[in-house]
Amino acid sequence: MTEATIAAIVFGTCLAGFVQGLSGFAFGLVAMSVWAWTIDPQLARPLVVWGSWIGQVLAFGAVRGGLQWRRALPFVLGGVAGVPVGAWLLQYINVGMFRAGVGVVLIAYCSAMLFARRLPILRWGGRVADGAVGAVGGTMGGLGGLTGPAPTLWCTLRGWHKDEQRSVFQVFNLSMHSLTLTVYFLNGTLTRAMAPAFALMVPVAILPTLGGVLLYRKVDDRVFRRLVLMLLLLSGVVLLLSVALR
């Protein structure tokens, strides 16, 4: 690795680790805003998944009372079923247009919700609806690497308090990242040459992620919901820019 690559990995990991520790997601959004300009995409994509996985593991203690695996299970099962569907759709759908469309929806919807006096609360559908949203997230992940937006937004609209929302985020994202890393390993995406970069990220991520977790514990439910919506809005902007600048 060159000195520039090392510096980019360290800076991107610190910044993204802090945001993920605070919000429970968004490692890839923040890291790629740094790495997209300096690191080869063949390395950057696996680094994003690896960094997100590390961050989820480090942030386990953020949720008071522990992770709610039973509540997250429908999302995970739906996500696992949706990933191969998304991969199959790749041959029929223009990925760039898909990502741009998701960006437009995120910008429009999250902007409206940020200006709303009170967020709508969706109580219908139960676990079946949760599983369907997980399947949407998995399909979007298989199609365009976008597993997070659908479940994250759905949890916000469920009216759950911040620990309940974050518990689902973390279990779902950890499961999807674990699945992705396994696929990367089996199909040869991960190489020995990437090992130094992967190893570098582990110690670098610890303090920023834990710092984000400490700040998370100080914010209330209202602030957390607005934080989630703002990050999703930013995700939409980044998606549009990534397509426009290609």
At 24 the pLDDT is 84
At 205 the pLDDT is 94
pLDDT in tens, 203-241: 999 999 999 999 998 888 888 888 988 988 988 888 888
Among candidate residues 82, 180, 227, the one with its CA nearest the CA of residue 140: 82
What's the CA gap between 57 and 171, in Å, rounded?
Answer: 10
pLDDT in tens, 117-138: 777 787 888 889 999 999 998 8
Structure tokens at 54: 């590390």
Q: Which residues contact 130 (CB under 8 A, 6 or more apart)?
A: 71, 74, 75, 78, 154
pLDDT in tens, 38-60: 888 788 888 988 998 998 888 87
pTM: 0.84
Using CA atoms in the order 12, 17, 18, 20, what is the torsion angle rounded to 10 degrees?
120
At 66, is the pLDDT very low, low, confident or very high (cuts 50, 70, 90)? low
Q: Phi and psi of 226, rounded to 5°? A: -65, -35
Q: Are 175 and 80 in contact (CB under 8 A)?
A: yes
Q: Which residues contact 5 (CB under 8 A, 6 or more apart)?
A: 38, 39, 197
What's the CA gap between 2 and 207, in Å, rounded?
Answer: 24
What's the CA gap between 42 and 208, in Å, rounded?
Answer: 25
At 202, is the pLDDT very low, low, confident or very high (cuts 50, 70, 90)? very high
What's the CA gap between 219 and 224, in Å, rounded?
Answer: 6
Count of CB atoms situated within 10 Å of the CB of 23: 27
